[in-house]
Amino acid sequence: MRGNSGPIRNGTAKNILKIATEFNACEICGANDWHVIYDGPIRDGSYGSLRTGATVARCGTCGVDRLVEKHCPDEEFYEGDAYRRRLRQRLTTSAYFPTADKSQEFVFQVLGYGTLRNKVVADVGCAGGSFLDHVAGVAGQMLAIEPSSIYHESLRQRGYSVYSYTSEAGAEFAGAVDLAIAQQVIEHVRNPLQFLQEIRGLLSPGGKLLITTPNRRDILMDLLPDDFPPFFYRTVHRWYFDTASLSECAERAGFQVDGARTVHRYGMSNALLWMRERRPCGDVRLEDIEPQADRMWRGYLEGIDRADCIFMTLSVRK
Ligand SMILES: [Zn+2]
């Protein structure tokens, strides 16, 4: 399926030319130290839609992986409904809730309960505001930061202070936010360092940030080297992290890392079906793969940092 199977050879004229002409200084560390780690088809929206000939390169200095800029959408892409259309998602807030509500379970596993009474909470890239709904009634003021205008009216109706970008919230909330959360957002943005610095500007001296992003060390990347990377890499994700490179970026943005772990959000059936069918099969349970197998599988992957998603808790460095 890949355009070129086998290991990437960085000494080739083609790859030297690609790095020289298509990659600029790293947005996180400023180095010009890229090498190609993937060259082939990537997902463009939902499964089955591919963009061919895409290059992903790794920064040898800070460790981040980056999709070549020519395949990445601009920020304006996220301001209307184009992003959700590309994913073939329905465009109402009510259509967004079922999946989003389910995913909050993993956030509370990491955050714990009982810590947010009267606190100022910001959800950066909140989409329809599922997380905020889950802490409403306990938290104090709540900021809904979301570029897509399709959610704004509904968010306002629910009493949240709505902003398109973090920088717009600064005039009122700089230094005032006790907890910020950014779920599955940093991989989309133009500049992850600036993204984290702007959130840090909102936080109070003891403020915390929880950030989640796909784990590029997801075990399926190695178990299915031909079939999973063209699904994992996608046009809407500019950046690909592991826990080490995300920690590096956070520290450069003025945070200290309080906790870095991976969380697996799928059962064992998901991996077995990927192995059998070599494609995503949805949230299906195979016969005799019981919840106890899921717990064992999740625990194992999380123990070796190869679960599908990174959850990192950060605090402002003093
Ligand atoms: Zn770098």
Give the model's confidence band at 4: pLDDT under 50 very low, under 70 low, under 90 confident, else very high. Answer: very low
Ligand 1 mean position, distance from CA 212 (Å): 19
Give the model's confidence band at 29: pLDDT under 50 very low, under 70 low, under 90 confident, else very high. Answer: very high
Q: Which of 91, 134, 143, 77 is nearest to 111 (CA)?
A: 134
| Mean local confidence (pLDDT), 39-63 | 94
Domain that holds residue 138: 75-214
Ligand 1 mean position, distance from CA 17 (Å): 19
Ligand 1 mean position, distance from CA 308 (Å): 23
| Residue 175 domain-assigned (yes or no) | yes
Provide the pLDDT for residue 6: 64
Ligand 1 mean position, distance from CA 25 (Å): 8
| Residue 252 domain-assigned (yes or no) | no
Distance of alpha carbon 268 from alpha carbon 301, whole angstroms = 10
Ion ligand 1 residues within 5 Å by Cβ:
26, 28-29, 59, 61-62
On the CB side of 298, how many CA atoms lie within 13 Å of its CA?
16
CB 214 within 8 A of CB 242: no
| Residue 87 domain-assigned (yes or no) | yes
| Residue 179 domain-assigned (yes or no) | yes
Between β-strands 65-67 and 121-124, what pairing exists: parallel, antiparallel or unpaired? Answer: unpaired
Query: Which of 51 and 283 is assigned the larger pLDDT?
Result: 51
Whether pLDDT at 75 is above 90: no
Q: Walk across the sheet containing 309-316 and list its strands.
A: 161-163, 142-145, 121-124, 177-183, 203-214, 309-316, 255-263
Whether pLDDT at 2 is above 50: no
- Those residues whose C-beta lies under 8 Å from the C-beta of residue 171, and which sit 6 or more positions away, are none
CB 200 within 8 A of CB 254: yes
| Residue 34 domain-assigned (yes or no) | no
Ligand 1 mean position, distance from CA 125 (Å): 24
CB 134 within 8 A of CB 191: no
Whether pLDDT at 80 is above 90: no
Estimate the share of the chain in helix, then strand, then coil, as percent rounded to the nearest 5.
35, 25, 40
Taking CA atoms, 23 is separated from 15, 20, 136, 185, 297, in Å, by 11, 6, 43, 22, 38
pLDDT digits (tens, 9 = 90+) for 123-159: 999 999 999 999 999 999 999 999 999 999 999 999 9
Which residue is listed with tokens 């990347």?
A: 221
Count of structural domains, the chain: 1
| Residue 147 domain-assigned (yes or no) | yes
Q: What is the CATH number of the domain that holds 81?
A: 3.40.50.150
Ligand 1 mean position, distance from CA 169 (Å): 28
Ligand 1 mean position, distance from CA 12 (Å): 22
**Which residue stretches of the chain are H helix?**
13-22, 82-86, 93-111, 130-135, 152-157, 166-173, 192-202, 220-223, 229-232, 243-252, 268-277, 291-303
Output the average pLDDT for the chain.
93
Ligand 1 mean position, distance from CA 228 (Å): 25
Query: Which of 145 and 73 is assigned the larger pLDDT?
Result: 145
Ligand 1 mean position, distance from CA 32 (Å): 8
Whether pLDDT at 55 is above 80: yes
Whether pLDDT at 3 is above 60: no
| Mean local confidence (pLDDT), 180-185 | 98
Q: In degrees, to the nearest 5, what angle opens at C-alpha 86 toward C-alphas 82 and 89?
A: 95
Ligand 1 mean position, distance from CA 68 (Å): 14
Provide the pLDDT for residue 130: 96
Q: In degrees, to the nearest 5, what angle opens at C-alpha 21 toward C-alphas 15 and 23?
A: 85
Whether pLDDT at 318 is above 90: no
Ligand 1 mean position, distance from CA 241 (Å): 11
Whether pLDDT at 23 is above 60: yes
Ligand 1 mean position, distance from CA 165 (Å): 24
pLDDT digits (tens, 9 = 90+) for 225-249: 999 999 999 999 999 999 999 999 9
Whether pLDDT at 40 is above 80: yes
pLDDT digits (tens, 9 = 90+) for 87-116: 777 667 888 888 899 899 999 999 987 789
Provide the pLDDT for residue 1: 43
Give the model's confidence band at 5: pLDDT under 50 very low, under 70 low, under 90 confident, else very high. Answer: low
In sequence order, the β-bridge partners of residue 67 are 56
| Residue 17 domain-assigned (yes or no) | no
Ligand 1 mean position, distance from CA 27 (Å): 7
Whether pLDDT at 195 is above 90: yes
Whether pLDDT at 119 is above 80: yes
Ligand 1 mean position, distance from CA 7 (Å): 22
Ligand 1 mean position, distance from CA 166 (Å): 23
Whether pLDDT at 194 is above 50: yes
Taking each continuous run of H as one helix and of E as one strand, the counts in the chain are 12, 11
| Residue 145 domain-assigned (yes or no) | yes
Ligand 1 mean position, distance from CA 30 (Å): 6
281 three-class SS: coil
